[in-house]
Structure formats: structure tokens, C-alpha cells
Amino acid sequence: MRPTGPLHLGHLTGALDNWRRLQEDYECFYCIVDWHALTTDYADTSAIRENVIEVTVDWLAAGLDPGRSTLFIQSLVPQHAELHLLLSMITPVPWLERVPSYKEQQQQLQNRDLSTYGFLGYPLLQTADIIVYRADAVPVGEDQAPHVELTREVVRRFNNFYGPVFPEPKTLLTETPRTPGTDGRKMSKSYDNAILLKDSPSEVKAKLRPMVTDPARKRRTDPGEPDVCPVFDLHKAFSPPETREWVVPGCRQATIGCLDCKGRLAEHMLERLAPIHERRPELAKRPDTVWDILQAGSQRARETAEATMDAVRAAMKIRY
Ligand code: SF4
């Protein structure tokens, strides 16, 4: 995960809930990819350090357990960079140019010059991030699946040249419920439409109150359609079936108002956020402990990554 600052509900439903569950069945490595932040935000790096802490505090509050999983910072494990360099020797440039996010992001982020070497190579750095742990599986949303496919191609090419060092990682496709922000677009810090995990109950309610709804419901007496309403998308992510069954006819027959609907949503959302709200302030007060967790995790990650690099150097006949 990139160090983008405090996390929001989209991160919770799209990644953290799943990551927390995976801890039960897998040996997990969760990495804050500060070098990846540089691929797009290289001109202003002033927020990265603070953002690393914010992300880690949210991870811990959301239930990632440093006793079970390895939580670490990418740049504290230089083996990622060494492997990236070695993989860059064998990866044809067109493989990177055809990754869908390459062109998409260049178009979307037109205020930045993304014609850099680092930006073209970031899916290959991701490949190194994955295979330096000889990972069997990578939990990703659908938009990231092409990156895992690239990883598998690079692994096949490497193993073909130098012998079977890496397993081909599987994609653990995560069902990511649509999590719209308060303006109906995808929830994102850059759109200023996000409900943050650290928002207090009154902030959550204040953000939900003016949230956009089905535009057909201008008045309380106008019937609406939950299927086109972003508030209902949030109900799908946070409310139990009974509440959704209350919303659907109530909205279509105009027997409930949008504020009633949002009020119920706020209740369920806050129930879900309660354990995070309980743990987060304590963690935020102890940044030194959070750094210690990241340092210890990075040490563990370095040991695993170095064992891989030893095998890589031997396979490539550059171990001296
Ligand atoms: S009642 Fe609920 S689902 Fe229907 S338009 Fe209003 S907020 Fe959306």
C-alpha cells in the first residue's frame, strides 16, 4: 500500500478487511511502498514520512497483527531494489508499456510529468516486491490483476534463463464492493470525498448528511431507486440484509426519507468503525512504538528477502 496518508472506508472494504482475514490462513507480508510513492510524487516528498505513520496506525487499528504478519517499509529492505535492477535486465520494454495502468495514469495525472524511467518500471518494482518473498499468492483487486500477470510472465522468463528460483504467484482476487465517496465518485483522498477511518462519529455523520443520492428524489415524496444511489452502495458494504430490505421498498415508495436512510447507514458504519475508533487514539499517541513495529518487521523482511537474493545471485552466477 502506498503511503498516501490517513486511510478511508475504501481501503477498509477493498483491502484491510481481507488482509485481516488472510492472516488466519497465510504467512503474510504487508509492505508500505514508499518507493512507489516516488514514481508519481517525486517532486514533493515532504509528506511521505508522516504518511507512513498514518497508514501504519490505521493498519494496526484495523486489526493487522504484527505478531502474526510482517509489517514493513519497502525502502528498509534494499533487496527489493537489487531484484528490480536484475529483473530490468531481462524484461522487454513493451511488456511494461502495455500494462493498462501505464497509459491510464499518464492520462489521468496530466499535471505531472510521468514520462520517467521509474514510472514505466513501477510494475516491475511491484514484481520484485512480490517475488522477493517467493510469494505463492497476492491479494489484489481486479484493477491490479494485470500486474500479477506481468509478475508471472517475468517469473517464467527468469526461471527459464536461470533455473526454478521463483514460484508463479497466484492472484487472490478480492471482491471489492464499490465504495463511493460523498460526491458519488470513487472514494479517494484526491477527490476530497472520503470518510476516513479516523473520523469521529460526528464527522462521519456530518459527511454523510449532504452525500449525493438518487437525483430523482428531489423531495421527500419523490420515489427513488436504490440501484442508482451511491448511499445504497455504502449500505451494501456496511448494513445487514434487514436494513437493506427496509431501504429498498421505503425508497421506491417514498415511505422513508434520505436522511432516515443515511441515519441508519451511519449507525451500521459506526458499529463497524467502533473497534478502530477504540484502538486508534492509543496507537497515534505512541509513534515510537509504531516505528519499532515497522523496524522489527523490516528486519524480518530483510532476512527473508536476503535468502531469496542469495539464491538469485547463485542462479545468475554472480554470487562472489
Ligand atoms: S432513500 Fe436511501 S437509497 Fe433511496 S435515494 Fe435516498 S439515500 Fe438513496
Q: What is the DSSP letter of 110?
A: T
Atom of ligand 1 nearest to the CA of 252: 4
CA of 258 to the centre of ligand 1 (A): 5
| CB contact at 8 A, 74 and 33 | yes
Our answer on whether the CB atom of 213 is closer than 6 Å to any ligand 1 atom is yes
Candidate of 227, 251, 259 to mutate for ligand 1, largest count of ligand atoms within 8 Å of Cβ: 251
Give me the pLDDT at residue 154, please. 98
Mean pLDDT to the nearest integer, 293-309: 98
**pLDDT band (50, 70, 90) for residue 29:** very high
Our answer on whether the CB atom of 226 is closer than 6 Å to any ligand 1 atom is yes
Instruction: Report the C-alpha gap between 188 and 201 in whole angstroms.
Output: 20
CA-proximal residue: ligand 1, atom 6 (nearest): 258
Instruction: Report the C-alpha gap between 173 and 245 in whole angstroms.
Output: 28
Asked if residue 39 has pLDDT above 80, the reply is yes
User: What is the per-residue pLDDT across 110-143, written as a single tens digit (0 to 9) for each?
Assistant: 778 888 999 999 999 999 999 999 999 999 888 8
Candidate of 208, 221, 228, 232 to mutate for ligand 1, largest count of ligand atoms within 8 Å of Cβ: 232
Candidate of 182, 213, 218, 225 to mutate for ligand 1, largest count of ligand atoms within 8 Å of Cβ: 213
Candidate of 255, 258, 259, 264 to mutate for ligand 1, largest count of ligand atoms within 8 Å of Cβ: 258
CA of 219 to the centre of ligand 1 (A): 11
Question: pTM of the full predicted structure?
Answer: 0.93
Asked if residue 174 has pLDDT above 80, the reply is no
Atom of ligand 1 nearest to the CA of 261: 2
Q: Would you give the end-to-end CA distance of the chain in angstroms?
A: 34
Atom of ligand 1 nearest to the CA of 257: 1
For residue 260, which of 309, 298, 209 has the smallest C-alpha distance?
209
CA torsion through residues 215, 216, 222, 223, sign: negative
User: What is the per-residue pLDDT across 270-296, written as a single tens digit (0 to 9) for each?
Assistant: 999 999 999 999 999 999 999 999 999
Our answer on whether the CB atom of 247 is closer than 6 Å to any ligand 1 atom is yes
Place of cell 437525483: 215
Asked if residue 304 has pLDDT above 90, the reply is yes
CA of 190 to the centre of ligand 1 (A): 25
**Higher model confidence: residue 187 or residue 174?**
187
Give me the pLDDT at residue 190, please. 79
Give me the pLDDT at residue 63, please. 97
Place of cell 496507537: 283
Asked if residue 108 has pLDDT above 80, the reply is no
91-130 residues labelled b (16+ CB within 10 A) or e (exposed): beeeebeebeebeebeeeeeeeebeeeebbbbbbbbbbbb
Mean pLDDT to the nearest integer, 35-52: 93
Give me the pLDDT at residue 173, please. 83
Mean pLDDT of the chain: 95
Give me the pLDDT at residue 281, please. 96
Q: What percent of the chain has pLDDT over 90?
A: 87
Asked if residue 86 has pLDDT above 90, the reply is yes
Our answer on whether the CB atom of 232 is closer than 6 Å to any ligand 1 atom is yes
Asked if residue 176 has pLDDT above 80, the reply is no
Asked if residue 175 has pLDDT above 80, the reply is no
Burial class of residue 72 in the structure, from the number of CB atoms within 10 Å of its CB (0-12 exposed, 13-18 middle, 19+ buried): buried
